[in-house]
Amino acid sequence: MQQAASKSPVAVIGAGAIGLAIASALARAGHPVTVCGGRPFDEMVITEGPTTASWPVAHTDDPGDVAGHHTVILAVKAHQTDAVGDWLRSVDGPGVDVLVAQNGIEQRERVAPYLSQAHVVPAVVYLNAERSEPGRATVRRVTQGELAIPDEPANRPLAARIREGGMRVDLDADFTTTLWNKLLMNITANPLTALTRQRTAVLRDEAVGRVALAIMEEAVAVARAEGARLSAADAAADLEALRQVPDGAPTSMLQDCWAGRPLEYDALTGAVLRAADRHGIDVPVNRLIYALVAAVRPDREGPTSQDSAAVRT
């Protein structure tokens, strides 16, 4: 087990696969890690390819224990943000960086009710990570970068801290486009796999592919109104990328269906609808998808053995 050096401590709110993966980079750089709530564990164990490394962690159920932590990773799902509001209030203060590692395009708005002084850093996460049990995760680095954050002077110290631990962080000068481009994939793969109860390979079906493209093309029109530099060609390229995901890979929303958990549709398709309403853009296919996914009741149908490899899309 690797011991953390005497650098500033990091608080992790949401120690799932993504929270653990990002925390491991900071632990590797020598920052002690405190896990906020959830099932307790005293070390995090990260496997990447043939290599497994571990670091000690502190665990607390008391939000007061993380007051004064100046680096915070928020990695609960978007619809769980209100449930961790006390933790966010406890870390709020000047000089605090809160990395919001959540899906969607409304990261800053989502945490605004709880953070009035902290510096909020929205992130796009490209990591492929899977948690096997509390404190343990497998991380697969499948792109040129693992995180993208806005290229702003105030964000650069946090990027440097994470990079020191070996994680690739892209300081993105066109973060709006990056957010919306990631959203195109999320509003397609997640709802369609949840509605069909099939893995991402369902997107290779010709009829399903036409629906997927319609979802994305509507969203491109909204994204452009929001200032993103996207086109129909980007939608087609994103669909092709989704069709290249390995066989047997479920989306996070499909896994939530299997586990009987609430679905993260409002931060995805709901964000498109809210932006469309702001600009008076008609998005009938996305409205249909929203209504259908909102009506889904997770049925606790567990995955088969071939679903052991998960993908976060």
Largest CA distance in the chain: 56
Distance CA 17, CA 21 (A): 6
| CB of 108 closer than 8 Å to CB of 294 | no
Residue 299's alpha-carbon distances to 49, 79, 101, 187, 194, in angstroms, are 33, 19, 27, 21, 11
The residues carrying an active-site annotation are 182
Q: Judge contact between 239 and 213, C-beta under 8 A.
A: yes
Residue type, 280: G
Instruction: Please provide the DSSP assignment of 98-162 as one string.
Output: EEE--SSS-HHHHHTTT-SSSEEEE-EE--EEEEEETTEEEEE--SS-SEEEE--GGGHHHHHHH
Beta bridge partners of 169: 147
Task: Write the CA distances from 76 to 36, 54, 122, integer angstroms.
Answer: 11, 22, 13
Angle, in degrees to the nearest 10, between helices 269-279 and 284-294:
140
β-strands 128-133, 136-140 pairing: antiparallel
